[in-house]
């Protein structure tokens, strides 16, 4: 790769922090021009405006995983999102058929700040899932349980699902994936987001009392009786998103009192009590599409991450969009990807020094791919 001679990159991100936004923006664009189609910048909808403006493609988690799977020309993906998204991109962009088309050359996936994780994904560790699986096997038949992991999880959990006949799902296809699981087994173990699991299963007619919650910190059957596990349809992992957890049913009631024709639009990571009251619930992609298609003058109260709601407000002045919670709920880890980190990682890349590479080991990757492809085949 030719070096970008006009710019000196720095080994450390610190000097970039003192640059003005317009300087960082110009330098980022200069690297984009220099690397051309070798570089693909992907951005999740929760990114700050100033960062997502530099992405080639933006999307929800499902759309982004498809984009990574379909990336043909690029040699580098810079992921403006969080760690599990970059891992997924590494697995999909470097699957065996793609690698052989590229004569074994890997697409390098870069996360501009390695501390951009997801607190929900951190609520399920592989050893906890393996322990839960073994403990469940003492009480119910493992071969009649399909493990399903929300894409917001470490690659090791996706690999676990691949190994045990399970699949990955996202917020836009959870119902299709659960339908598939129930065509094979009578039970599902769903991790790490209890709310997405519960909200989806309720829509499918499964009752709350058929959904015990597994507490990974309780050594005694995750805090459940043998009877409740024997009667279960969906065993929900006790995990949640700290951002979406903030939206409360009172917020919905307050909006409906103030604005009787308000439409409540939420992400299914919100708790059941909020999700049940909402007019519409869906992935970030669905939230955006719903607003785009609505008639001018529609009144909205939206329950999802703040940066996306603020962007929708700016992009749709013809509609009246408000944030559902009186307190600001933002994803602090997504926010770690800022212009300074983006510029730093790009300039290093342009100078042949690839920083913050996300590389899933081959064994984990192979098993994760099975679980990811089951999802992609179901929803493509
Ligand atoms: P989406 O798949 O809807 O973009 O959600 C990702 C996410 O992390 C929501 O908190
Ligand atoms: Fe994770 Fe919640 Fe942030 Fe989404 S919004 S990345 S689930 S912490």
Where exactly are the structural domains of the chain?
14-117+335-360, 120-242, 244-323
Cis amide bond preceding 192, omega within 30: yes
| SS3 label, residue 59 | strand
Instruction: Give pTM, 2 decimals.
Output: 0.96
CATH: 3.30.70, 1.10.4100, 3.40.1350, 3.40.50. Which one for 120-242? 3.40.50
Q: What is the pLDDT of residue 323?
A: 97
Ligand nearest to the CA of 331: 2
Longest dimension (CA), the chain: 69
Q: Please name the fold of domain 14-117+335-360.
A: Rossmann fold (3.40.50)
The Å distance, Cα 304 to ligand 2 centre, comes to 10
Asked if 338 and 348 count as a contact pair (C-beta separation under 8 A), the reply is no
Does the domain at residues 244-323 carry the CATH identifier 3.40.50.10800? Answer: yes
Q: What is the pLDDT of residue 315?
A: 97
Predicted pLDDT of residue 350 = 95
3-state secondary structure of 57: strand
Strand partners, 145: 187
User: Which atom of ligand 2 is found nearest the CA of 44?
Assistant: 6
Regarding the beta carbon of 4 and ligand 2, being less than 6 Å apart is answered no
Residues of the chain with pLDDT under 70: 1-8, 380
pLDDT of res. 72: 80
pLDDT at 7: 59
Topology alike, domains 14-117+335-360 and 120-242 = yes
CA distance 371 to 111: 23
- In this predicted structure, what is the pLDDT of residue 121? 98
CA–CA separation, 307 vs 314, rounded Å? 11
Name all residues whose Cβ lies below 6 A of ligand 1: 45, 60-62, 152, 170-171, 241, 267, 269, 283-284
| Residue 226 CB burial class (10 angstroms; 0-12, 13-18, ≥19) | exposed
Dist CA 166 CA 181 (whole Å): 7
- Is the C-beta atom of 152 inside 6 A of ligand 2? yes
Contact status, residue 353 vs residue 9, Cβ threshold 8 Å? yes
Contacts (Cβ under 8 Å, ≥6 apart) of 218: none
Instruction: Say what the pLDDT of residue 1 is.
Output: 53
């Amino acid at each position: 790769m030719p070096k970008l001679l006009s710019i000196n990159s720095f080994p450390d991100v610190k000097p970039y922090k003192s640059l003005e936004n317009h300087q960082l923006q110009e330098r980022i664009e200069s690297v984009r021009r220099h690397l051309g189609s070798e570089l693909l910048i992907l951005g999740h909808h929760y990114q700050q405006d100033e960062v997502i403006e530099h992405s080639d493609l933006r999307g929800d988690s499902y759309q982004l995983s498809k984009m990574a799977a379909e990336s043909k020309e690029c040699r580098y993906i810079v992921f403006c999102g969080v760690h599990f998204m970059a891992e997924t991109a590494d697995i999909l962009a470097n699957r065996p058929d793609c690698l052989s088309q590229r004569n074994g050359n890997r697409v390098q996936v870069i996360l501009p700040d390695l501390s951009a994780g997801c607190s929900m994904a951190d609520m399920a560790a592989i050893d906890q899932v393996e322990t839960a699986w073994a403990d469940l096997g003492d009480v119910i038949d493992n071969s009649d349980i399909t493990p399903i992991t929300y894409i917001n999880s470490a690659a090791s959990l996706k690999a676990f699902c691949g190994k045990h006949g399970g699949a990955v799902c996202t917020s836009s296809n959870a119902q299709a994936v659960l339908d598939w699981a129930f065509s094979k087994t009578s039970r599902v173990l769903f991790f790490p987001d209890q709310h997405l699991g519960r909200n989806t299963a309720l829509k499918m007619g499964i009752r709350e009392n058929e959904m015990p919650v597994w507490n990974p910190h309780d050594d005694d059957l995750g805090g459940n009786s043998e009877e409740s596990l024997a009667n279960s349809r969906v065993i929900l992992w006790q995990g949640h998103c700290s951002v979406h957890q903030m939206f409360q049913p009172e917020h919905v009631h307050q909006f409906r009192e103030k604005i009787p024709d308000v439409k409540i639009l939420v992400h299914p990571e919100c708790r059941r009590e909020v999700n049940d009251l909402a007019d519409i619930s869906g992935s970030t992609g669905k939230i955006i599409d719903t607003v785009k298609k609505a008639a001018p003058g529609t009144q909205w109260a939206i329950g999802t991450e703040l940066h996306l709601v603020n962007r929708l407000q700016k992009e749709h002045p013809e509609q009246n969009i408000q944030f559902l919670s009186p307190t600001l709920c933002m994803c602090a880890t997504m926010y770690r990807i800022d212009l300074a980190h983006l510029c730093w990682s790009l300039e290093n890349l342009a100078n042949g020094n690839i920083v913050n590479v996300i590389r899933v080991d081959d064994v984990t990757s192979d098993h994760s791919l099975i679980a990811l492809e089951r999802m992609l085949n179901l929803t493509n």
